[in-house]
Structure formats: C-alpha cells, structure tokens
Amino acid sequence: MSNAVEIYELEKTYEGGTRALKGIELAIEEGDFFALLGPNGAGKSTTIGILCSLVNKTAGSVQVFGHDLDRDRAWVKAQIGVVPQEFNFNQFEPVEEVVINQGGFYGMTRKAAKKRAHELLKQLGLYDKREGMARALSGGMKRRLMIARALVHDPRMLILDEPTAGVDIELRRGMWDFLTRINKQGTTIILTTHYLEEAEALCRNIAIINEGRIVEHNSMRNLLAKLSQETFVLYAREPVESLPEMPVIGSRLIDDETIEVDLNRDQELTGVFDVLRGHGIVIERMKNKTSRLEELFLRLVQDDDAATDAEERS
C-alpha cells in the first residue's frame, strides 16, 4: 500500500531559538489509523501544524499522497481535514454556517456544502442545533462540530489533535465509533492524544515523539509485545487471609479482598485462577492495573531523557 505521509529530516526552529523538531523521519500508510504520542512540548502539534500548513518548517521535506508539500501545497491542503486541539471556529456564527463556509473554502458550491453539512451534522448528533449560534454548544458538541467541519470536503486524510480532550466518557466512545467507521471507509486518520487507552483502542500504528525526535515508530501490536510484564488487580468475593504460591513473578495482598499479581508475557492468568480456586478463593472481577501503553510510553520517554542527559554531560 502507498504512503499517505512521508516525512524526511523535518526540522523546526521557532523564532527565539527553540528547536521543536530535530530531524523527524516518519511514514504513515494510506488507510492507517495512526497515533502520534508524546509529552507536552514534544513536537506533536508542530509536526501536525507543518502537515496542515499552519506552521512553516525550517528544513526537511513532507510528501502527502505522493505530492510534495512545498511544490503542491494547495493540492495537499485539499486532501486533508484538520480538527485542532483548541476551538478555532467563529463562535458568533450559526452552527451550520461554520461547516458550510469551510466547504466553500474548499471550492464547494453553497448548495453542495449545505447538503454535506446537514449529512455530517446528522451523523454527529448536531442537526437539531444547526441554526443556533456555535457559542451556545457544549464543549463536546463543539468538538463534534470541528469534526463535521473537517470532513465537509470529504478529505482522504483526517488529522485530529487531542480530539477527545474534555469530552465525557460516553461521548468519547461515540466519537471513537464514528472515527473507526470513517477509517474503515478509507480515510487515513492521524491522531494525537493524551489518553493512551484511546490510542491503544483505535490505532494500528504509532509513533512516540520526545523532545523533537521520534523515539519509537512501530505497529501497536509490536509495541505492546515489547512489554515484558503486566500487573493485574484481582477482586476476591470473600476476605483473603493469605496468598498461596502462584505461577507468577510477584503477588501481594493489597487489602482483605484485593490481590495484585505481576505476570510475564508468557505466563497465563488461568494458572493463577486455578491455584486461587484450589485454595477456595473466588475472583469476582479483575482489571489491568495500568494502561500497558502508558507504561511503555513512560519507559521510552524516560530512556530517551536519560540518553539525552548523558549525551549533554559527555
């Protein structure tokens, strides 16, 4: 499959000397659901800003669907829909006008833009609000409005910068379903998020960026496979006095009814349940203690920070 995005040696130094990007290399396949993760100030928004032509790059090159951003900028822009982190629509315009105007800026007639806007507003549950002022929408509705606006011209690639920040869980799930659906219909999606479980649930490939460098670029499956250890929390039906020996690398009793067990990747939970059942301990429910991705993310970023420190000291 061809690549939707190819980035070579991308650098950005802002006025004042801050080096936000230090030679990023990245390839994103067409049709992918791709996560770009990183701590605050890592360079995620700068990378996205360059892709969307909101930030001028200092060096390097960017190809989108085989077209060079510098040479065919207008064409590249027409392939992309953007949902930024902050609300950036005119709050004093009616909801449908926000979407219709954007369609117009992408060359659509008012009639075609209106038809498409109504379709999207229906899909995103905003149709009843279409004539009201955009400022009257709730935070979650405003995020959905920005998604509708980004999709009005039917882009081949959708870029979302923290799309579910401040959105409640139910709405977030609805948004995930919607994004999964349009990805299955062929739209390449690039997502930055602070919710690591969001990236884990949605994305097939991932890049982690730290201090302007890509520190990991892999498939989600390969990345998660790198985790050698996971911790599970088990909740017993009855109080537990002491823990039996179990085929795990570590176990402890947190309180009367809560047990934590650490497992290697090749160890199975069924062995744990068998031992516990043999000692009359019934487990009612369980959960993974930490987001696996979160654990990996922290480790990669900390490793990179340590390497940078060592480099600077030497």
**90 lies in the binding site for other proteins (CB under 8 A):** yes
- The single residue among 53, 123, 267, 290 that binds other proteins, judged by CB under 8 A, is 53
Tokens of 211: 């201090």
- The single residue among 1, 16, 40, 56 that binds other proteins, judged by CB under 8 A, is 56
How many residues of this chain bind other proteins (CB under 8 A)? 51
Stretch that binds other proteins, among 47-55, 164-172, 194-202, 286-294 (CB under 8 A): 47-55
Q: Environment class of residue 282 by beta-carbon count within 10 Å: exposed (0-12), middle (13-18) or buried (19+)?
A: exposed
**74 lies in the binding site for other proteins (CB under 8 A):** yes
Residue 1 or 74: the one with the smaller Cβ distance to other proteins is 74
**18 lies in the binding site for other proteins (CB under 8 A):** no
Sequence-ordered strand ranges (E) for the chain: 3-13, 19-29, 33-37, 59-64, 67-68, 80-83, 157-161, 188-192, 205-210, 213-219, 229-236, 250-255, 258-264, 283-288
- The single residue among 19, 22, 73, 118 that binds other proteins, judged by CB under 8 A, is 73
CB of 108 vs other proteins, minimal distance in Å: 6
Do you know the residue count of the chain? 314
How many helices (H) and strands (E) the chain has is answered by 10, 14
Residue 165 or 286: the one with the smaller Cβ distance to other proteins is 165
CA-nearest of 80, 26, 50 to 189 is: 80
Residue 181 or 237: the one with the smaller Cβ distance to other proteins is 181
Residue 158 or 276: the one with the smaller Cβ distance to other proteins is 158
CB of 57 vs other proteins, minimal distance in Å: 10
Helix (H) or strand (E) holding 147: helix 139-151
**86 lies in the binding site for other proteins (CB under 8 A):** yes
CA-nearest of 36, 68, 58 to 198 is: 36
Residues 139-168 that bind other proteins (CB under 8 A): 149, 153-156
- 254 φ/ψ angles, rounded to the nearest 5 degrees: -80, -45
CA-nearest of 29, 98, 88, 110 to 63 is: 29
The residue type of 93 is E
Q: What residue ranges bind other proteins (CB under 8 A)?
A: 2, 14, 46, 49, 52-56, 65-67, 71-78, 80, 82, 84, 86-93, 97, 100-110, 112-113, 116, 149, 153-156
